[in-house]
Amino acid sequence: MKHLVRCFECGREVSDPFVDSCPHCSGKLTIELDLNEVKERSPKELRSRPFGVWRYAPFLPVDASKAVTLKEGGTPLYKCSSLAEKSAIKEVFVKFEGANPTGSFKDRGMTVGVSRAVELGCKVVGCASTGNTSASLAAYAAKARLDSVVLLPSGKVAMGKLAQAMFYGAKVVMVDGNFDDALRVVREMGNAGQLYILNSINPYRPEGQKTVAFEIMDQLEFEVPDRIILPVGNAANIWAVYKAFTEWRELGWIDKIPKLTGIQAAGSAPIVRAFRSGQDDFVPEDHPETIATAIRIGNPASGRKALRAIKDTDGTAIDVTDEEILKAQRMLGRMEGIGVEPASAASIAGLVKLRQMGEIDWDERVVCICTGHVLKDPDTVIKSCEAIIQAKADMESVRKAIGR
Ligand SMILES: *Cc1c(COP(=O)(O)O)cnc(C)c1O
Ligand SMILES: [Zn+2]
C-alpha cells in the first residue's frame, strides 16, 4: 500500500528508511497511508480474504504478496458472560491474543516489520524486549532466514518467552539493566548500521498491530464497541488501535471511536500519572517494578502517542496493583477458561476497578484485549496458585487428599 513516513511531532516527511526517529526534531515516526484505493469499498468486502492480519492488506504499508507470515491474527473474541455478571457490566468480550503463533499480539506487528526488513534487503534484525517481542522477532526472522539479535533486561524475563527466543535461534543477550536500558543500546546499534531495529518505535510494527481493532470490528459485525481496555507498556499497541479506528473513520466506515482505556501496573505507571495531571507528556519512571514483566517499562517509547489516543477518544488510564493483576488473571482462568499472562490480566483488573469506581457504566459494551498467553510465564502462575497435593498411589489416599 502506498504510504509515507512522517514525524509524529513536527509532521515532516522522513525519507531515510533506516532512521528510528526524526532527523530534524528526534520525534517518533508514524506512517501515513494513501487510503484512496479502499475509498469506494466497504469493510465487509475485506471478508473475501482469510480472517487474520493480511485480510487488512489495504491498511498495511508493505507488499502483501511477499509477506513473511505465520498466519498471525484471526484470534478469538470471547463473549464472557460470567465475567460480565461478576463485574456488573452488560457485555464484556475478551480478544484473546494468546492465540497468535508465538502466543502474543506482537506477531501482528512482527509479520509486517519483518516483511519490511526483507523489502529493504536487511540481513540482521534486532530488538530490545521484555520477552514477547524477542520471541516473535526470533520466529519471524527464522521464517525469513534472517539473523536476529535480542537484548533482554537481565533476570526479568518470563521463562516461556526466553525459551522461545532461544528456541527459534536468536542471539540472546542479557544486558545489566532494565528494558529502557536495553532499548537505548539496541537503538544505538540500529543507528550504527549493525541491525534493523524492530521495536515498536519502528512505525511498521504498529501498522500490523492495527489489525486487532479491525478484527474486533469484524467480529462484532462492524458495530463499534463503547470501550476497549488494554494494558500499556511501551504504549505502541494503544496507539495502533487508535490509528486503526481513525483510518476507518476517515473512510466513513465508522462514525465513532471506542473510549480507549489504558491500564498500567502501579509500580510502572508514567502514562497514568501524566493523564491524571492533564499533561501531553510524561515523566519517565526510573525504577519500574511489577510482576507483569511485559509492561515493566518506565519510559514508554510511544507514550506521547498513547496520551493523544486516550484523550482524543474520551478514554481514561488507571493503574492496578500486582495483587489485583494476579487476582484478575485467576478469575479469568477459572470463570471463563481463558489463560493469559499477568500483563494481559491488567486489562481485566482495570475493567473491574473502573466499574467499581463508576467510570464504566453498567450498559456498556466493553472489549478487553488480553495480549499474551498464560504459558508465557508459568513461574508466576505456579507461585500464585494453591499448592500441589501429594498422595500415595491409591484411591483412598487421593480421596482423602482432595477432601471427597
Ligand atoms: C508488549 C506487551 C504489552 C504492552 O504493549 P505496548 O505496546 O508496549 O504498550 C502488554 N502485554 C503483553 C503480553 C505484551 O507482550
Ligand atoms: Zn520531527
Q: Which atom of ligand 1 is nearest to the CA of 234?
A: 8
Q: How far apart are CA 345 and CA 370, in angstroms?
A: 7
Torsion of CA 233, 236, 238, 244, to 10 degrees: -170
Separation of 238 CA from ligand 2 center, angstroms? 21
pLDDT of residue 155: 83
Q: What is the pLDDT of residues 86-126, one digit of tens each?
A: 999 999 999 999 999 999 999 999 999 999 999 999 999 99
Task: Tell whether ligand 1 has an atom less than 6 A from the beta carbon of residue 344.
Answer: yes
Domains of the chain: 77-103+205-384 (3.40.50.1100)
The protein residue with its alpha carbon nearest to ligand 1, atom 14, reads 294
Helix axes 303-312, 236-250, angle to 10 degrees: 50
Are 234 and 302 within 8 A, CB to CB?
Answer: yes
- Return the ligand number nearest the Cα of 23: 2
Q: Which atom of ligand 1 is nearest to the CA of 239?
A: 7
Neighbours of ion ligand 2 (CB under 5 A): 7, 9-10, 22, 24-25, 27
The protein residue with its alpha carbon nearest to ligand 1, atom 8, reads 234
Q: What is the pLDDT of residues 9-30, one digit of tens each?
A: 999 999 999 999 999 999 999 9
Which residue type, as a one-letter code, is found at position 129?
Answer: S
Share of the chain above pLDDT 90, in %: 97
Task: Tell whether ligand 1 has an atom less than 6 A from the beta carbon of residue 234.
Answer: yes
Are 9 and 28 within 8 A, CB to CB?
Answer: yes
* Mean predicted lDDT score pLDDT of the chain: 97
Q: How far apart are CA 52 and CA 75, in angstroms?
A: 8
